[in-house]
């Protein structure tokens, strides 16, 4: 009979400035004490192949939002009944961890994680597909996505918020503010003007600014914010107002929600998914029927 007490541990070796590997060992030893089998994966999620005789009780993900997105996508691609995910946030923004109010012990979270596994309290997160790729937090096109692409080209190891300073300056120097068009559920909501467009599953974005204050990860829809932005002055104004949650009252801002969103532009614009560089426009997004389960403390 297949064993249903196997737990997967996905650890990004670079996460937490190298702490993920030692944490994974401590967590595995603690779960062994509770009678679980543990399968640890240090390679990129794309290399993971499920074993035919294993049914997984849970998947522990140690890393940032990008690692989490990659693991969730792989689990849902290769496992018919994916296990719920327990997140150990060790990235830069850690937006899902903050949204779920996850705060494990900084030095040794093994006991707390074992308790959460035993309680097995699971909440469901909506998920979206952007050009065929799963995302959990947000997808966007515009200046912010261009910064993410610039960061991706420069990155050589672990990063923090300060790491984005130089890519942001370079993007500010070179960005052309091309026009874009946005449709939601087949209805045109913004037509052929320079703008920033964000599609999100949670209110917070970037450094935690509430760009989409009404977004909820369990309301079976995706929220859309389109902000007219044609120059650096407008970009600065958006940043300042968004920090206070006041950008929604700016002239021309469009807020909407739906299950199918399309973003197009006259020239290719970079896009990002959950903080990772991911191709260029056109961007076609849809809400998926399946949700992603998270084990919470």
Distances (CA, A) of 210 to 16, 86, 99, 198: 25, 24, 12, 12
Please report whether residue 295 resides in a domain. no
> With bands split at pLDDT 50, 70 and 90, how would you rate the model's confidence at 239?
confident
> With bands split at pLDDT 50, 70 and 90, how would you rate the model's confidence at 4?
low
Distances (CA, A) of 231 to 89, 204, 244: 35, 24, 21
Please report whether residue 297 resides in a domain. no
CA angle 178, 156, 39 (to 5 degrees): 110
DSSP assigned state of 149:
H
Residue 55: predicted pLDDT: 85
Are 70 and 109 in the same domain? Answer: yes
Characterize the bridge pairing of strands 54-63 and 3-11.
parallel
In angstroms, how far is the first alpha carbon of the chain from the final one?
30
What is the chain's mean pLDDT, rounded?
91
Please report whether residue 154 resides in a domain. yes
Provide the sign of the torsion angle of the four alpha carbons 106, 108, 113, 115, taken in this order.
negative
Report the CATH number at residue 203: 2.60.200.40
Are 141 and 284 in the same domain? Answer: yes
Are 282 and 139 in the same domain? Answer: yes
Phi-psi region of 194 (alpha: psi -120 to 50; beta: other; left: phi over 0): beta
Of 51, 86, 120, the residue that ends a domain is 120
Are 154 and 190 in the same domain? Answer: yes
Residue 125: predicted pLDDT: 95
| 161: containing domain | 133-288
Are 279 and 154 in the same domain? Answer: yes
**pLDDT, tens only, 142-159:** 899 999 999 989 887 777
Are 138 and 284 in the same domain? Answer: yes
Are 220 and 154 in the same domain? Answer: yes
Q: What's the pTM value of the predicted model, to 2 decimals? A: 0.89
Are 138 and 242 in the same domain? Answer: yes
Please report whether residue 126 resides in a domain. no
Please report whether residue 165 resides in a domain. yes
Of 54, 86, 120, the residue that ends a domain is 120
**pLDDT, tens only, 244-297:** 888 988 999 999 999 999 999 989 999 999 999 999 999 999 999 999 999 999
Are 77 and 102 in the same domain? Answer: yes
Please report whether residue 72 resides in a domain. yes
Count structural domains, the chain: 2
**pLDDT, tens only, 19-67:** 788 889 999 999 999 999 999 999 888 888 887 777 899 999 999 899 9
Nearest to 164 by CA among 239, 73, 69, 241: 239
Are 247 and 186 in the same domain? Answer: yes
Report the CATH number at residue 13: 3.40.50.10330
Of 70, 91, 120, the residue that ends a domain is 120
Is the predicted pLDDT of residue 161 greater than 90, yes or no? no
d(CA 170, CA 139): 22
Please report whether residue 128 resides in a domain. no
Are 263 and 151 in the same domain? Answer: yes
Q: Give me the mean pLDDT over the 217-229 stretch.
A: 96
Residue 16: predicted pLDDT: 62
Are 71 and 110 in the same domain? Answer: yes
**pLDDT, tens only, 75-115:** 999 998 899 999 999 888 888 998 899 988 777 889 999 99
Question: Is residue 61 within 8 Å of 10, Cβ to Cβ?
Answer: yes
Please report whether residue 294 resides in a domain. no
Q: And the tokens for 234?
A: 């407008």
């Amino acid at each position: 009979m297949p064993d249903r007490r196997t737990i997967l541990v996905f650890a990004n070796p670079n996460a937490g400035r190298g702490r993920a590997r030692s944490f994974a060992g401590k967590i595995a030893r603690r779960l062994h004490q509770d009678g679980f089998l543990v399968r640890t994966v240090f390679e990129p999620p794309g290399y993971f192949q499920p074993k035919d005789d294993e049914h997984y009780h849970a998947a522990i993900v140690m890393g940032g939002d990008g690692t989490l997105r990659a693991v969730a996508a792989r689990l849902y691609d290769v496992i018919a009944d994916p296990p719920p995910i327990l997140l150990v946030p060790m990235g830069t923004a850690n937006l899902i961890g903050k949204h779920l109010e996850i705060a494990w012990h900084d030095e040794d979270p093994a006991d707390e994680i074992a308790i959460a596994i035993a309680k097995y309290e699971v909440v469901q997160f909506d998920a979206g597909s952007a050009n065929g790729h799963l995302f959990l937090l947000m997808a966007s096109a515009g200046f912010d996505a261009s910064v993410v692409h610039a960061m991706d080209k420069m990155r050589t190891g672990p990063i923090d918020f300060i790491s984005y300073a130089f890519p942001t300056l370079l993007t500010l120097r070179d960005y052309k503010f091309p026009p874009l068009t946005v449709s939601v559920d087949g209805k045109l909501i913004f037509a052929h003007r320079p703008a920033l467009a964000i599609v999100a599953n949670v209110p917070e974005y970037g450094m935690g600014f509430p760009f989409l204050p009404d977004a909820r990860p369990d309301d079976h829809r995706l929220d859309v914010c389109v902000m007219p932005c044609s120059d650096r002055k407008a970009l600065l104004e958006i940043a300042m107002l968004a920090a206070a949650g006041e950008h929604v009252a700016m002239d021309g801002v469009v807020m909407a929600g739906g299950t199918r969103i399309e973003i197009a532009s006259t020239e290719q614009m970079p896009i990002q998914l959950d903080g990772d560089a991911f191709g260029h426009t056109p961007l076609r997004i849809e809400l998926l029927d399946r949700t992603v389960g998270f084990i919470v403390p």
